[in-house]
Structure 1
Amino acid sequence: MAATIKDIALRAGVSVSTVSRVISNHPRISPQTAKKVRAIMQELNYHPNLTAKSLVSKSTKTLGILLPKQADVLLLNPFFTEAMRGIVSYSTRAGYDLLMIGPPSNGEELEAVIRIVRGKRVDGILILHSRVNDPVIAYLQKDGFPHVLIGRSEEYPSTLTVDTDNVAAAYDATHCLIRQGHRKIGFVSGPPNLVVSRDRLEGYRKAIREAKLPERDEWIVEGDFLQESGFRAMSFLMGLPDRPTALLVTDDIITFGIVRGLTELGYRVPDDLSLFSFNNISLAELANPPISSVDIGIFQLGYTATHLLIADVEGRSVADRRQIIPHRLLIRGSSAPLNPRVKG
């Protein structure tokens, strides 16, 4: 006969309510009591009926993660896997499960979110990217459903968000290239409908204008967060009669595509073109040459976002609804002082 919660309580010498609190990871239960109760649960092979418990408490102890694209494309960019590492780290510690919310075949993210929310399958939703005029955030705001955004919402400033100051980060990285003597600096952006792309373009332009450097529309190229975008951007920019001597690139993965293309064409980084990138994924330091990159604390973005969402779900007040993770510049071999041989 399967053990019950009463059996656990009797064996541990505690009340049934105490066992229930241990199962729910209640913060007021001492570590010693929790350890003792869990040991007895394991000994008696007891597994709580979480479905029945959720019907009583009206809590699923599950968080939804809205994926920006289909999973096979998503996993090509380490930004999302590192953010997921932070999310999993905190959610596991807090006793929450995770449910991936992928858009259906027609790509309608809103449809998937409405289905999950109305089905009461999660207690809150983590959104991994911020878009301009995002219908998902509009729906969640109107419904009053707990959610947190990794990024920034232009239309809903009261949204709970965790972000990098991308304007300041792009300004700092561009200014670093300026200090190295570059006067012709281009920018390779992400999709224009993403807030992060707009913010980094704004920071780049701010630095260029303050330094009174040439601002050329053809030196700004848009793409996706994939190597192929970097390859295409490199092919276009290096074919210009008056090309940049340095590039600020909005993602390390795009930078890898640029380096690959330059190498195939016989160019050298940074001798022929300096590169400064974003995200500081683990492979950036191992590249040849190592990539100069803005570390935006990807793990901490995911970890902090999960912490804030769970606090909101559990009714704990969140004083600062927009939290900023500090950035830092890591200057490596891909960016260097302007080569006198390069026409700058």
Structure 2
Amino acid sequence: MLGLATIKDVAQLANVSPSTVSRVIADSKRISDETKERVKAAMQQLHYHPNLIARSLIRRSSQTLGLVLSRSTDSAFSNPFFPEILRGISAVSKSYHYGLMLAAAEDYAEEAKLCLKMMTERRVDGVLLLASRVNDGLIRELSASDCPFVVLGRAPESLKCYSVNNDNIQAAYSAVRHLLNLGHQRIALLNGPADYIFCQDRFEGYRFAFREFGIEHDPEWIKSGSLTQEDGYRLTRELFQLDPAPSAIFCVDDVMAIGAYQAIKERGLTIPGDIAVVGFNDDPLASVIEPHLTTVRIPIYEMGVTATQMIIRILEGNEPLPFQRVLSSELVIRQSCGANP
């Protein structure tokens, strides 16, 4: 019977009806845990695998979630943020027997097209957007078409939609305030693309910290580029052309901070003796590079878990409240800022 077991065989071995086996496969809440365990044990013993394609046709469901990366796969997976958030998404989707379909594009127009195509062709039941933009047309289209979706990041305030976020304004504020408390006033900002809401929020946190201390920040200290090590290196070299040069650098991503390290050391300067550096995300390399990087730790894995739980609750007809979930962050003080950890 190996590999050829039917649902009737499972039902007979578990001493239940075939309809009960179907309900167990669908994870029905009406079935007791004891019965579920008995049926699952029978399925395992008989090497029975449910026909997910047939199930999806009956339920008019693909049993698949769409993931929209908001950038090309090369640039996304070179940043440790994405593998970690995908780990959280995968953990929950697997436990609920959902597959994952990835959409990645070189530009925003192609990204929106791919996402809407996944939905209209019913290849996915719902969508997780792994970033949000200012004036995000894709979010507006998904909202208007009643497509189930959850945004990882702060959604545009004009649109009421489900989202999971960390408070980027507060997190950036705490990092820059820490540098100001250490006596730094010439603090540069290495930011990402201005059309991403999280980059705008981290800039706002930077501004708020200066405002609290009654200090004017110099616009020349603010540099924007892609969230890559190469741009972190390039923009730091540009900062060295200023007179006087900044005494500290706040990077909105640890990958950019690693590029800043490279430029600083290439110039023969020391961290934090000549210039302090603070990053964001608590990349695994942050505690390995020398000196260890002071950074903001955000719950990346938990964001993926929470967002996936939300989209599955929506698909099951259970409205998750509140609409917006905001997870906490933490400033991790190491050697690169000059403070005593």
Q: TM-score, normalised by structure 1?
A: 0.94
1:74 corresponds to which residue?
Answer: 76
Question: Who is 1:125 aligned against?
Answer: 127
Q: How does 1:2-17 map to 2 (within 5 A)?
A: 2-17=4-19
Counting only pairs closer than 5 Å after superposition, residues 1-344 of structure 1 correspond to structure 2 as 2-103=4-105, 108-336=110-338
Distance in 2 separating the partners of 1:254 and 1:90:
30
**Structure 1 residues 106 and 313, CA, compared in 2 at 3 Å: closer, same or farther?**
closer
CA distance in 2, matches of 1:265, 1:279: 26
The alpha carbon displacement at 1:290 in A equals 0.7
1:34 CA drift (Å): 2.3
Name the stretch that deviates more: 101-110 or 20-29: 101-110
Amino acid at match of 1:21: R
How far apart are residue 104 of structure 1 and its match?
Answer: 7.2
Runs of 4+ in 1 over 3 A off after TM superposition: 27-32, 104-107
Q: Structure 2: how far apart are the matches of 1:64 and 1:44?
A: 32
Gap change, CA 1:121 and 1:186, over 3 Å in 2: same
Partner Cα separation in structure 2 for residue 279 and residue 18 of structure 1: 46
Distance 2:30 2:246 in 1: 60
Q: Deviations over 1:44-75 (max 9, x none)?
A: 23221211111111222211111222212211
Write the deviation string for residues 197-219 of structure 1: whole angstroms up to 9, x where unpaired: 10010110011012122311110
Measure, in 2, the Cα distance between the counterparts of 1:40 and 1:236. Answer: 66
Distance 1:205 1:104, change over 3 A: closer
Work out the CA distance in 1 between the residues paired with 2:216 and 2:139: 38
> Distance in 2 between the 1:7 and 1:330 partners?
56
**Alpha-carbon shift at residue 156 of structure 1 (Å):** 4.0
Distance 1:95 1:210 in 2: 49
Which residues of structure 1 form unaligned runs of 5+? 338-344
Give, in whole Å, the separation in 2 of the partners of 1:193 and 1:290. 31
How many residue pairs align between the two structures? 338
Q: Could you tell me how far apart the structure 2 residues matched to 1:49 and 1:156 are? A: 42
Amino acid at match of 2:247: T
For the residues of structure 2 that align with 1:29 and 1:265, how far apart are their CA atoms?
67
Assess, with a 3 A threshold, how the Cα gap between structure 1 residues 37 and 283 changes in structure 2: closer, same or farther.
Answer: same
* Cα distance in 1 for residues equivalent to 2:8 and 2:106: 44
Report how far residue 146 of structure 1 moved: 0.5
How far off its partner does 1:153 sit? 1.8
d(CA) in 2 for partners of 1:154 and 1:60?
Answer: 29
Contact 2:282 2:298 in 1 (8 A): yes
The separation in 2 between residues aligned to 1:54 and 1:45, in whole angstroms, is: 21
Q: Deviations over 1:17-53 (max 9, x none)?
A: 2211221223443333223222222332322121111
- Cα distance in 1 for partners of 2:295, 2:33 equals 41
CA contact (8 A) 1:128 1:149 kept: yes
TM-score of the superposed pair, with normalisation by structure 2: 0.95
Query: What SS does the corresponding residue of 2:47 show, helix, strand or coil?
Result: coil
Residues in 2 aligned to 1:209 and 1:160: alpha-carbon distance in whole angstroms: 32
Q: Aligned residues: percent identity? A: 39
Shift of 1:122: 1.0
Per-residue deviation, 1:265: 1.4
SS of residue in 2 equivalent to 1:276: strand
The alpha-carbon deviation at position 102 of structure 1 amounts to: 2.2
Q: Distance in 2 between matches of 1:90 and 1:304?
A: 9
Identify if the C-alpha distance between structure 1 residues 128 and 241 changes in structure 2 by more than 3 Å, giving closer, same or farther: same
Local SS of the residue matching 1:20: helix
**Partner Cα distance (1:226, 1:264) in 2:** 18
Aligned mates of 2:150, 2:114 — CA distance in 1 = 17
